Amino acid sequence: MARKERTEEIVTIDAIGFEGISIARDDEGVIFVKGGIPGDKLEVEVTHKRKKHREATIKKILEPSIHRIIPRCDYFGVCGGCSWQQLEYSEQVRWKAQHVKDSFERLHKLEVQRYDTPIGSKAQYEYRNKMEFSFGSSRWLTEEEILKDEKIEDKNYALGLHIPGRFDKVLPIEQCHLQTEISNKVLRAVDSQCRKLKLSARNSRQGEGFLRNLILRKSQTTEDYFIIVLTSPVTNEDEESFVEWIFTEFASTFFNEHTTIAHAVNETRSGVAFGEIIRQIGSGSLKETISGFTYEISPFSFFQNNPKQFEVLLDVVHSYGNFKPEEIAWDLYCGTGLITLPVAKNVSNVVGIELSEESIVKAKRNAQNHSVKNAEFYAMNLHSKQALAHLESQAKPTVAVIDPPRAGSHPDLISYLNSSGIERIIYVSCNPTTQARDCAMLNNYQIEALTAIDLFPQTYHIESVALLTKRND
């Protein structure tokens, strides 16, 4: 049990650990400080003492690091979405690459033959093609508001983002720098009308309330734009008036030939931002083009949030893969085929496997739409014996791409790949710690190359691509 003895200390930050926690050291050991930058000299308050470290918050910046900058966002430090806005971008990329290296070398004692130059994102803001905002009946109060001790008129309503770790608290947001300015104008317009009509926001604990979510999707490669207002079923005149406003006054400002505006309804108690579209204007189509392939995105489906930088990641996959026309390839955890289809252009045949049947249906449709005839797709749980038996029945590939979720792959699949005799494995990951763990189990392979690719500027998240080649010894 952590003790809550609060003491004040002066520390200098010397590193940033994985998941963005800054690290200081003194005679007593390690101190984790939220929000510190390497080179900062800080006055901190130690809030928790644990067995192997202490946790502290910043009271005062005594001497700022040369890499500390002024955050662009007014909500920085509260929202939790952009945890690194106070760190200049070149240093963000450098530390992310260091975290990848530490995962392989320090945590798992792996030898990497070559670290390639980490690749930062050209767009450091306004790079997301989807933002999902929540309505909530319990507004998060800032420390400043609490200290003022004034009556809060709108404490039962908020449109914004959930506070990290609090599904029931929503921080009001008027502008997010990760989305386009037109999306911020939409956010403010919807918020203003909801306040004007005094509509009820969702109470996530009780499963009640009319307003649920505002979902904004803007293609990075076309002019397509999707605006989705998600509510519970309409039950009164004010709610009817709001829905009518969406398709009249609101639409007169924001609707054009590239835009779809939709009202969707979720009748369940679930807090998931998903529902049935009841009414819409516009084509209902949103497309993104990546590496020459155009993908149609449905309103609530998952798609890469930074498509332009994902195209950079695909370039690394192809460089590492060195695909040849006579080869067979596998794409494991293939999703809707974003990696599979570009690979298909360079090999004789590629097999994609994914758990989600919906994703496989879309992958097949994507292949058909682009006249790709040498890609096969199967909906299977790659962590099951059935999938391993299916792989065993397939013609053996010379190269496999594996792109598992954050938790990494299953030991059984890793064991199968380790003994498969496949010449090259390209491991794509959004979590270098689980990637390194899995690569350690692939001990019949050497890690020939590793690249860190930043798809999420202003956050501590990082993608990494590893090239593994079969050992000859």
The residues assigned a catalytic role are: 430
Q: What is the phi-psi region of residue 63: left when phi exceeds 0, alpha when psi lies from -120 to 50, beta otherwise?
A: beta
| Residue 408 DSSP SS3 | coil
Question: What kind and span of H or E run contains 418?
Answer: helix 411-418
Three-point CA angle 259, 297, 290, nearest 5°:
105
Structure tokens at 142: 């800032």
CA 95 to chain centre: 18
Strand partners, 170: 139, 162
CB 317 within 8 A of CB 401: yes
Amino acid letter for position 133: F
Question: Greatest CA separation found in the chain?
Answer: 76
CB 327 within 8 A of CB 351: no
Closest alpha carbon to 393 in 403, 404, 385, 383? 385
Burial class (CB in 10 A: 0-12, 13-18, 19+), 64: middle
Kindly list the distances between the CA atom of residue 38 and the CA atoms of 87, 236, 439, in Å, as whole numbers in the listed order: 9, 55, 30
Closest alpha carbon to 406 in 468, 333, 351, 466? 333
CA 253 to chain centre: 30
Structure tokens at 130: 């989807």
Strand partners, 130: 217
CA distance 28 to 40: 19
Closest alpha carbon to 71 in 49, 56, 89, 54? 89
